[in-house]
Structure 1
Amino acid sequence: MSFLPASDREYLQSKGFTFQEIVDGRNKGVVFPAFKLPPNKYDVLQADVLILLPSGYPDVPPDMFYLQPWAKLTTESRYPKAADHAFNFNGLSWQRWSRHNNEWRRGVDGIWTMLKRVEHALEVAA
C-alpha cells in the first residue's frame, strides 16, 4: 500500500533512498533501512529510521522519529536526551526521538525536510 504523496516518492527515488511504506493499525510509517549514523558517535553504525506520517500529511508535519536498534552515545554510554522511550510499531520496540517541529511550511516541506531534521538531530545529539 502506497500512501506517500507522489512528490515524496519521486524525491526519494531520485536520491536513491531505500524505503518501505508500512501501515500498522492507525499509524502510517516510512522506514528507511540501514540509515548511516554519524561515525564515532553511537554504539551502532546504522539503524532503521521510522518517520510516522500524521493524518493530514503533508500539510501537517511529522513530529518525531524512531530508531531500531536503539542507539546510545559512545562517549557516555547513555541514550541521547529525549531519546529514551519506546514506541511499538510493526511488532518492534523503536527508540523514540522526541524532536518537535514548529517550522513546517505547509505546501513547501515534505519528506526531504524531515530527513534533514533527522540527520541534524543525529549529528547534534547530546
Structure 2
Amino acid sequence: MPFLPSRDREYLESKGFVYQEIVDGSQKGLIFPAFRLPANKYDVLQADVLILLPAGYPDTPPDMFYLQPWVKLAAQSRYPKAADQRFAFNGASWQRWSRHNNEWRSGVDGIWTMLKRVEHALEVAA
C-alpha cells in the first residue's frame, strides 16, 4: 500500500527515480535500487539505498540512511566513519549511515531534501 505523500511521489517520478515503498512491521521505508555511488570512492559502483520515513513525515524528518550491500572506502578498505552498524529491514542486513538531520524545514522539505543529504554524505565520507 503506497504511503509516500503525493508531492514526494510527483518529484521522484519527474526525476525518473526508481523506488519501492516497503512496510516492515511498523516501519515504512523507501528503497532506491542500484543507486549510483561516487566514482572511485567505494568498493562497489552502486548500492540500494533505504530511507526510513518516521511517523509524522513529512513534518518529522527522516534521520539516517542505509545501504545494501555494505560498502567500504576503496582507498582505505574500511567502512566510513559512523557507517559500521547493522540494521535489519525487510529481511536484509543494511549498513547504517548515522547522519542526523537538524535542519529540516517542516512544510518545505521533502524526499528531495533527504536524497540530497544522502548524495552529500556519500561524497564527503571519510
Q: TM-score, normalised by structure 2?
A: 1.00
Show the 5 A alignment for 1:1-126. Answer: 1-126=1-126
Whole-angstrom distance in 1 between the partners of 2:48 and 2:100: 20
> SS where residue 95 of structure 2 aligns?
strand
RMSD across aligned positions (CA): 0.2
CA shift for structure 1 position 57: 0.1
CA shift for structure 1 position 44: 0.5
5+ long unaligned stretches in structure 1: none
Q: Where does structure 1 differ by over 6 angstroms across 4 or more consecutive aligned residues?
A: none
AA at the equivalent of 2:61:
P
Report Cα offsets for 1:36-73 as digits up to 9, x if no partner. 00000000100000000000000000000000000000
5+ long unaligned stretches in structure 2: none
> SS where residue 32 of structure 1 aligns?
strand
> SS where residue 51 of structure 2 aligns?
strand
Whole-angstrom distance in 1 between the partners of 2:63 and 2:118: 11
AA at the equivalent of 1:115:
L
Whole-angstrom distance in 2 between the partners of 1:70 and 1:41: 14
Whole-angstrom distance in 2 between the partners of 1:24 and 1:44: 26
AA at the equivalent of 1:86:
R
CA shift for structure 1 position 78: 0.3
CA shift for structure 1 position 32: 0.2
How many residue pairs were aligned?
126
> SS where residue 123 of structure 2 aligns?
helix
Give me the identity figure in percent: 82
Whole-angstrom distance in 2 between the partners of 1:88 and 1:57: 21
Whole-angstrom distance in 2 between the partners of 1:23 and 1:31: 11
